[in-house]
Amino acid sequence: MFNSLSDRLTSTFKNLRGKGRLSESDINSTIRDIRLALIDADVATPVVREFTGRVRERALGAEVSQALNPGQQVVKIVNEELVGVLGGQTRELQMAKHPPTVIMLAGLQGSGKTTFAGKLARFLRDKGHFPVLVAADLQRPNAVTQLEVVAERAGVPCFAPEPGNVGGHDAATAEGTQSYGDPVWVARAGVGQAKVRQYDVVIVDTAGRLAVDENLMQQAADIRDAIQPDEVLFVIDAMIGQAAIETALAFQKGVDFTGVVLSKLDGDARGGAALSVASVTGRPIMFSSIGEQTKDIEVFHPDRMASRILDMGDVLTLIEQAEKAFDRDQAAAMARKFMDEEDFTFDDFLQQMAAIKKMGNLKALMGMMPGMSGMKEQLANLDEREFDRVEAMVRSMTPFERTHPKQINGSRRARIAGGSGVTVSEVNSLLERFGQAQKMMRQMRRGGGMPGMPGLPGGGAKRGKQQPKKKGKSGNPAKRAQQEAAAAQKATGARDKAMGSAFGQQEEQDFSNLKLPKGFEKFLGPGANKD
């Protein structure tokens, strides 16, 4: 969504690299480039003016002039101000003290309210709640049916006592001559049913229009007065451009929403106007919708989104998605196999591939990694169907072949190729890459690090240096037993270090002597010293 803005800002900051001192002319030039980038991205003009003013004031002060690296300090200032424009702090749903928690969705027709209702329901269900969807959009053709389908996909119930508009006739053009039911009654009845059946969250999907009008606002206001929701979420299409500001202000006046949801963030529009909503309305962005599936929903973190825009990546979100996708028991089994020096098999490979698929769109995941702006073309050409072809080859193998890949001879390779619809050369390539992966795992287990990278501390041999000759075993039984115990302890230590590196465990390090910016210690992990 924000590729254009990210590219422009990244290019602007490249001009500051390597400069030991920034003149006022350098700062003014940078501010001008930032202003043009924001305007080109459709960010609202008042927001651009206020943002660049704050950046310029801080950049011309002692904060930059006394910095060891002024260029990086300017990037830090822009990042902090961008976080402020996006809302500052992460805002989560406020759950009612006495269930059910009532959440009302509002927005224009086509903004993605109904789809988001299913995503939010699944999001809350995965957190241990028991949500129910209420179909209070009775005007849009087949809106009730769509919500029922979305609810089924999300695995939650749907309360739909009225069929709504099922004939394909839009009530907006009926000039009041046709009625499809009372949405206010449906919303009130839905909350009542939730109390009786002990659902702890009620998500009410309301009607929208193609443009802001008095009937829409009045109906939304009547529903709000009837159900007294704990949260009113305004769903806005991130691709509608400058109209986002006008629409948001109209809904704030008519319904007074408590939070914003950005939908269709997986699109390719500039999207800057949507980023202005939080600053203009004073209401936080709470969720972002990033795809069509019910799992494609993210809590909106202003600091993480700012990092994405500035091409610093979003490693925290990537880790969170990995934690949800990877099964703890499978991870423990992999760790045990690693420690017991068992070889990585194709069955393990299938489990890892399934976990990666659970994490979502691979291109989106790769885009969360720092410094990926220079690889947009490679990401665009990434063919995710390659995963399906590899999986087909593995599933064409017998259980024996999956655990004994070295026994796959020519006739077996031909059979696998025929069963998976690929060529023998593709099977050969897979087996070759898999062999390299096994070799890498063995090398890491011995403490030698990954191929082509420095070895782990205390483990592995370095190339180009003569290896010390091994001492012969002593003829004395007691001394020989002592030598064997020392060797076993050394091997265990090497494996433990490799294990810690491979599975995210790190030794505590002393960072007390480093002069770090305030707040930077949170990036150093649990082993960082806290003063």
Task: Please indicate if the annotation marks 330 as binding a ligand.
Answer: no
- Contact predicate 42/272, CB 8 Å: yes
Instruction: Compute the distance between CA of residue 119 and CA of residue 116 in angstroms, rounded to an integer.
Output: 5
Instruction: Compute the distance between CA of residue 116 and CA of residue 266 in angstroms, rounded to an integer.
Output: 14
- Contact predicate 320/314, CB 8 Å: no
Task: Please indicate if the annotation marks 264 as binding a ligand.
Answer: yes
Enter the tokens of residue 185. Answer: 């009654």
Whole-Å CA distances, 202 to 163, 218, 348: 19, 21, 41
Task: Please indicate if the annotation marks 111 as binding a ligand.
Answer: yes
501, β-bridge pairs: none
Task: Please indicate if the annotation marks 230 as binding a ligand.
Answer: no
Task: Please indicate if the annotation marks 40 as binding a ligand.
Answer: no
- Contact predicate 63/73, CB 8 Å: yes
State whether residue 394 is helix, strand or coil.
helix
Task: Please indicate if the annotation marks 6 as binding a ligand.
Answer: no
Spell out the alpha helix ranges (H) of 255-373: 272-275, 277-281, 302-309, 315-325, 328-339, 346-358, 362-367
Enter the tokens of residue 133. Answer: 């969807």
* Total residue length of the chain: 531
Q: How many CA atoms lie within 13 A of 241 on its CB side?
A: 1
Q: Which residue, among 488, 511, 507, has the nearest Cα to 499 in the 3D structure?
A: 507
Task: Please indicate if the annotation marks 263 as binding a ligand.
Answer: yes
H or E, element range at 233: strand 231-237
From the number of C-beta atoms within 10 Å of its C-beta (0-12, 13-18, 19+), residue 257 rates as buried
Task: Please indicate if the annotation marks 398 as binding a ligand.
Answer: no
State whether residue 205 is helix, strand or coil.
strand
Secondary structure tally for the chain: helices H, strands E: 23, 8
Beta pairing class for 101-106 and 231-237: parallel
Beta pairing class for 297-299 and 285-289: antiparallel
Task: Please indicate if the annotation marks 110 as binding a ligand.
Answer: yes
Task: Please indicate if the annotation marks 355 as binding a ligand.
Answer: no
Task: Please indicate if the annotation marks 108 as binding a ligand.
Answer: yes
Instruction: Compute the distance between CA of residue 38 and CA of residue 16 in angstroms, rounded to an integer.
Output: 19
SS3 content of the chain, % helix, strand, coil (to 5): 55, 5, 40
Instruction: Compute the distance between CA of residue 504 and CA of residue 334 in angstroms, rounded to an integer.
Output: 13
- Contact predicate 64/164, CB 8 Å: no
Task: Please indicate if the annotation marks 418 as binding a ligand.
Answer: no
Task: Please indicate if the annotation marks 365 as binding a ligand.
Answer: no
Burial 140-152 (b: 16+ CB within 10 A, else e): bbebbebbbebbe
Instruction: Compute the distance between CA of residue 23 and CA of residue 20 in angstroms, rounded to an integer.
Output: 10
Instruction: Compute the distance between CA of residue 145 and CA of residue 180 in angstroms, rounded to an integer.
Output: 14
Binding-site positions: 107-114, 205-209, 263-266
Binding-site positions for GTP: 107-114, 205-209, 263-266
